[in-house]
Amino acid sequence: VLCWFYVFPGYRLPADKEIAEEVLRHGEAWRKNQTGIDLYRKLLTECCDPRRMFAVTKENSPLGKVLWYDGEFYYSHTVNNETYQLFVQDNPLTLPLKKCAVVGNGGILRHSKCGKDIDQADFIMRCNLPPLSKEYVEDVGTITHLVTANPSIIEKRFQNLLWSRKDFVDSMKVYGSSYIYMPAFSMKPGTDPSLRAYYALADSSSNLTMLFANPEFLHMVGKFWKARNVHARRLSTGLFLVSLALGLCEEVTVYGFWPFSVGLDEQPVSHHYYDNILPYKWVHAMPEEFVQLWHLHKSGTLRMRVGRCP
């Protein structure tokens, strides 16, 4: 099979159509490759130490530790009495995680019927507090073990939690007793909303556990992918989670990653499974990321679900 990775190694990103053709040509065939899995776990452990570093913990961020914001220059937060007490003691996950599902928010999930498949995983990660209402259950499942929340969602959807916190607390119930993973120390304006989200959950005896993403980990993961042809200002949330999963899980399957407007059947695909609101600016390089993920799929290091689930 003539493959554009080898035809154009590093020269140009193939067009959307070429990518779809390549995915179709490859078909459903997939075989797990333990050597590839072990290699990526080793590479990610060496660069970014996800086991110890993915969250801010009392262990890796003691009082007085300077946390440098990874999403902008010059800002840092020095861990103080107020923030230290909000950190978990140590990595709370029981490792290694076995079968992990990383669920992106791509419109490709709509009508995929992947819900059952996703819910069968041992550890399910989702991005940006996605809707899990009845109409989507068949396609995206119901169970969540870790969900990311960007502080900008707190600002936009929940009025920055300056007024009622009930809406926020209620809408978090759909994530059960999962971890909520917030990049509280990535952008300066995101810190206060993240801390408010922490208090809103703590004060309501919520079942969720707040984990703050460690900016040093995010920075190192960004560097890891930069060295592998992903030239974005910032990695997408989905790629951060896939990197985390490759570091912590024995097997990784990813769903909902398809940053193209046309599907394999040449029909239009919305950007998200729940709406078609495009990112404000293309700060991310999702197609470049897709190419890397596809590479990992082809080598058997992770499994990517693009079409319908069986």
Q: For binding to ligand CDP (CB under 6 A), which residues are involved?
A: 104-107, 127-128, 236-239, 256-259, 271-272, 279, 284, 286
CB of 139 within 8 A of CB of 109? yes
CB of 183 within 8 A of CB of 213? yes
User: Rounded to an integer, what is the distance from CA 194 to the centroid of its chain?
Assistant: 17
Of all residues in the shown chain, the one whose CB is closest to ligand CDP is 238
87 vs 274 by CB, closer to ligand CDP: 274
CB 295 to ligand CDP: min, Å: 15
| Secondary structure (3-state) at 97 | strand
Residue appearing with tokens 């159509």: 17
Q: Which two structure tokens, joined as six digits, stand for 174?
A: 């759909």
Number of neighbouring beta carbons within 10 Å of residue 246? 23
CB of 201 within 8 A of CB of 92? no
As to burial, measured by CB atoms within 10 angstroms (0-12 exposed, 13-18 middle, 19+ buried), residue 179 is buried
CB of 42 within 8 A of CB of 23? no
Angle between helices 215-226 and 237-248 (to 10 degrees): 100
CB 209 to ligand CDP: min, Å: 21
| Secondary structure (3-state) at 211 | strand
Find, among 286, 241, 12, 259, the residue nearest to 128 by Cα: 241
79 vs 127 by CB, closer to ligand CDP: 127
168 vs 260 by CB, closer to ligand CDP: 260
As to burial, measured by CB atoms within 10 angstroms (0-12 exposed, 13-18 middle, 19+ buried), residue 117 is middle
CB 101 to ligand CDP: min, Å: 13
Q: Count of residues for the chain?
A: 310
CB 66 to ligand CDP: min, Å: 27
Residue 213, phi then psi, degrees to nearest 5: -65, 135
